[in-house]
């Protein structure tokens, strides 16, 4: 059973609820009419004579943004020498050019898993009694928080980033579930996808004041803020939360063996952390005190049991997570545990369905904090009407925020939604009629990223194909990536710093929106994983390497290309045209915005 989702990729053993791990199955192969070559190249640092006559007129002054050198166009040509460390790139723009207005079609989105990025406050590292495991800390909270993100915004802005996507900051299940196929580590909701209370920030993430400071500071730097949101499921039940919120039950035969604090249970000899299920009476009547049968499908109490997602993608259960009944129009009462939770912002809503509650909870963050967009998890496992309602409500709420906070730095673009729909590629599907402005492009990482790093000319056909599809439809956009928390880090396949450096060009020069996963720019490496290899994609940000200057060669290259991209909407949203095969030269043009990009590489 292959279950693809943003919290994790999970192959489960039998059980009612289980910890999150990763499948051994591979995603289906895709076919494409896009042709590409597969040369290995090395940069050529000799002076290049470049024909720019199709873009610039004689007498115009242009410059290489990478080196800063200026040239006048004579007989349609300019001569530039690639700057040291440029990997042979020459980035040509008008000499008197001024930065153009932002477009989502050219967005550069930085994705940070907050807990693994930067620790701004250590006093909240062990909220709700969470503890490190003292071993590899695979599934524990590491301490990253909103204050840490704010402290690193100048670093992020220097990459040319104009939007930041952060993992769901909402209050997670307090306890842990068994992690990995073998249950070999405690797995907390450090990644944000095991939500318990949508109306509160997780204490590990910080306070609402710190969220407001983060959003305002990002906006002041020209960076939009995207929250990762989930409407398919809440988090698992855990021993700790069962005790804290008084739902479910422990088997009477197990009570005497339980520690005073249930969350401190450790597996006996011969058992692993999945063994915590053995303690739980899953058919006890007190499961009604949890979400309740009108809210979710789950294999507990008298709840409706969810089918496999392969049988029913909308009503099925992903990784045995409780499945929200978002398709139901039935009005529901507030779940008992939230009704009794002292610090929740969840209130009873009149005649509200599950969908109504979730939309209200999620868009409240837009209305009060000025969130600019959502990255939406598990899109294909929720019906389209829910996404349309979420988008409409968020759009209204962002306008309300902007009117009420007119004195603050903010933007003018409508609310933006990008969806995770595995294994979507560059094609327009029904999801663009469900409120989505863009979808994640899963195809580039697997098929083109390494080819482009080997030799940029290898993927000219891909550039041309993407630009043609995206630029013929103003309501179609994709977000392309090379690394993610659900697939792999590019550094795993790059293996060398040279390749990690060179992949900046194919990613950041790709048409459409692009996503940098934290550490792509600094060759962050795969971390400890146990029996779940996806855990290693969420390793701690390698600040030690950055602060020590060990990755300056890579980082400065990413910064230079990223800043150039940020200056020119034509890179993501313009017409692509190859001007020369040797040196490989192409243009991107959108209105008055004109750039010519040269990759003076030679096949090895």
What are the beta bridge partners of residue 515?
A: 109, 481
Pair 500, 397 in one domain: yes
For residue 132, name the pLDDT band (cuts at 50, 70, 90). Answer: very high
Q: Are residues 324 and 450 in the same domain?
A: yes
Instruction: Tell me how far apart the 2 most distant CA atoms of the chain are, in Å.
Output: 89
Looking up tokens 């939500």 gives 195
389 three-state secondary structure: helix
Whether the per-residue pLDDT at 355 is higher than 90: the answer is yes
Same domain, residue pair 65 and 109: no
Domain that holds residue 141: 104-235+305-578
Q: How confident is the model at residue 100 (pLDDT cuts 50, 70, 90)?
A: confident
Amino acid 507: pLDDT: 98
**How would residue 99 be classed by pLDDT, with cut points 50, 70 and 90?**
confident
- The reply to whether 447 and 542 lie within a common domain is yes
Residues catalogued as catalytic: 377, 420
Is 32's pLDDT higher than 70? no
| Average pLDDT of the segment spanning 389-403 | 98
pLDDT-derived band of residue 34, with 50, 70 and 90 as boundaries? low
Q: What is the 3-state secondary structure (H, E, C) of 291-309?
A: CCCCCEECCCCCCCCCCEC
Residue 594 dihedral angles phi and psi, to the nearest 5°: -135, 125
- Residue 245 inside a domain? The answer is no
Q: What is the pLDDT of residues 549-575, one digit of tens each?
A: 999 999 999 999 999 999 999 999 999
- Cα 448 to chain centroid distance, Å, stands at 20
Distance CA 566, CA 101 (A): 9
Regarding whether 528 and 404 lie in a shared domain, the answer is yes
Q: Could you tell me if residue 399 is inside a domain?
A: yes
Other Cβ atoms within 10 Å of 584 Cβ, number: 21
Give the pLDDT confidence score for residue 38 in this predicted structure.
87
**Beta pairing class for 478-481 and 438-441:** parallel
Output the pLDDT for position 262: 98
φ/ψ of 382, rounded to 5, equals: -135, 140
Q: Are residues 174 and 84 in the same domain?
A: no
- On the question of pLDDT at 1 being above 70, the answer is no
- Are 488 and 593 in the same domain? no
Q: pTM for the full model? A: 0.94
Residues 120 and 225 in one domain: yes
How many domains is the chain built from? 2
What average pLDDT does this structure show over 332-358?
98
Q: Looking at the structure, tell me whether residues 391 and 362 fall in a common domain.
A: yes
Helices (H), 301-383: 336-339, 354-369
Residues 128 and 66 in one domain: no
242 part of a folded domain: no
Report pLDDT for 35.
62
Q: Which of 2-11, 404-413, 490-499 is predicted with the least confidence, judged by mean pLDDT?
A: 2-11
pLDDT at 30: 37
Residue 459: its pLDDT value, please? 98
Cα distance between residue 74 and residue 162, in whole Å: 35
CATH number at residue 495: 3.20.20.80
Please determine, for residue 252, whether its predicted confidence score (pLDDT) is greater than 60: yes
- In a domain, residue 31? The reply is no
Range 207-223 burial, b when 16+ CB lie within 10 A, else e: eeebbebbbbbbbebeb
Range 2-24 burial, b when 16+ CB lie within 10 A, else e: ebbbbbbbbebeeeebbbbbbbe
Q: What is the pLDDT of residue 22?
A: 32
Classify residue 151 as exposed, middle or buried by CB count within 10 Å of its CB (0-12, 13-18, 19+).
middle
Tens-digit pLDDT profile for residues 421-479: 999 999 999 999 999 999 999 999 999 999 999 999 999 999 999 999 998 899 999 99
Give the number of other CB atoms < 10 A from CB of residue 545: 18
Q: What Rg value do the Cα atoms of the chain yield, rounded? A: 25
Same domain, residue pair 598 and 568 = no
Residue 27: pLDDT band by 50, 70, 90 thresholds?
very low
Judge if 489 and 571 occupy the same domain: yes
């Amino acid at each position: 059973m292959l279950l693809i989702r943003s919290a994790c990729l999970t192959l489960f053993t039998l059980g009612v609820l289980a910890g999150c791990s990763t499948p051994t199955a591979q995603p289906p192969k895709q076919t494409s009419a896009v042709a590409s070559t597969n040369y290995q190249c090395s940069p050529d640092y000799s002076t290049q004579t470049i024909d720019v006559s199709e873009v610039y007129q004689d007498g115009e002054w242009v410059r290489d943004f990478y080196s800063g050198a200026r040239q006048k166009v004579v007989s349609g040509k300019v001569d530039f020498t690639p700057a040291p460390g440029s990997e042979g790139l020459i980035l040509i723009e008008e000499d008197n050019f001024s930065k153009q207005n932002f477009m989502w079609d050219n967005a550069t989105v930085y994705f940070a898993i907050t807990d693994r990025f930067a620790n701004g406050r250590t006093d909240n590292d062990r909220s709700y009694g969470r503890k490190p495991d003292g071993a590899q800390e695979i599934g524990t909270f590491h301490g990253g928080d909103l204050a840490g993100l704010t402290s690193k915004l100048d670093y992020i802005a220097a990459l040319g980033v104009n939007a930041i996507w952060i993992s769901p900051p909402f209050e997670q299940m307090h306890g842990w579930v068994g992690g990995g196929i073998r249950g070999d580590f405690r797995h907390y909701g450090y990644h944000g996808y095991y939500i318990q209370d949508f109306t509160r920030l997780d204490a590990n993430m910080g306070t609402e004041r710190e969220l407001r400071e983060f959003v305002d500071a990002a906006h002041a730097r020209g960076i939009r803020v995207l929250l990762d949101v989930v409407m398919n499921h809440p988090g698992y039940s855990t021993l700790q939360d069962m005790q804290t919120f008084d739902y479910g039950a422990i088997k009477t035969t197990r009570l005497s063996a339980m520690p005073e604090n249930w969350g401190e249970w450790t597996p006996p000899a011969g058992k692993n952390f999945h063994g915590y299920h053995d303690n739980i009476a899953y058919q006890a009547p007190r499961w009604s005190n949890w979400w309740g049968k009108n809210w979710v499908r789950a294999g507990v109490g008298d709840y409706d049991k969810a089918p496999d997602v392969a049988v029913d993608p909308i009503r099925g259960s992903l990784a045995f997570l409780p499945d929200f009944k978002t398709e139901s129009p039935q009005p529901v009462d507030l779940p008992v545990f939230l009704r009794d939770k002292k610090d929740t912002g969840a209130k009873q809503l009149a005649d509200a369905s599950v969908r109504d509650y979730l939309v209200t909870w999620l868009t409240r963050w837009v209305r009060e904090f000025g969130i600019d967009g959502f990255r939406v998890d598990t899109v294909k496992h929720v019906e389209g009407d829910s996404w349309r309602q979420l988008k409409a409500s968020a759009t209204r709420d962002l306008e309300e925020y902007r009117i009420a906070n007119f004195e603050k730095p903010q933007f003018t673009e409508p609310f933006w939604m990008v969806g995770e729909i595995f294994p979507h590629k560059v094609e327009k599907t029904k999801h663009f009629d469900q409120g989505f402005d863009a979808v994640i492009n899963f195809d580039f990482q697997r098929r083109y990223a390494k080819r482009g790093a080997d030799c940029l000319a290898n993927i000219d056909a891909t550039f041309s194909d993407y630009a043609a599809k995206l630029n013929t439809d103003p309501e179609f956009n994709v977000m392309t990536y090379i690394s993610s928390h659900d697939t792999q880090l590019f550094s795993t396949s790059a293996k060398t710093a040279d390749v990690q450096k060179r992949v900046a060009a194919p990613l950041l020069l790709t048409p459409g929106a692009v996503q940098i996963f934290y550490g792509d720019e600094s060759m962050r490496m795969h971390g400890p994983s146990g029996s779940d290899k996806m855990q290693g994609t969420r390793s701690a940000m390698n600040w030690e390497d950055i602060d020590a200057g060990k990755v300056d060669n890579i980082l400065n290259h990413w910064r230079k290309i990223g800043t150039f991209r940020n200056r020119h909407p034509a890179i993501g949203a313009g017409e692509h045209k190859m001007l020369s095969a040797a040196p490989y030269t192409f243009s991107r043009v959108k209105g008055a915005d004109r750039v010519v990009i040269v990759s003076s590489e030679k096949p090895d």
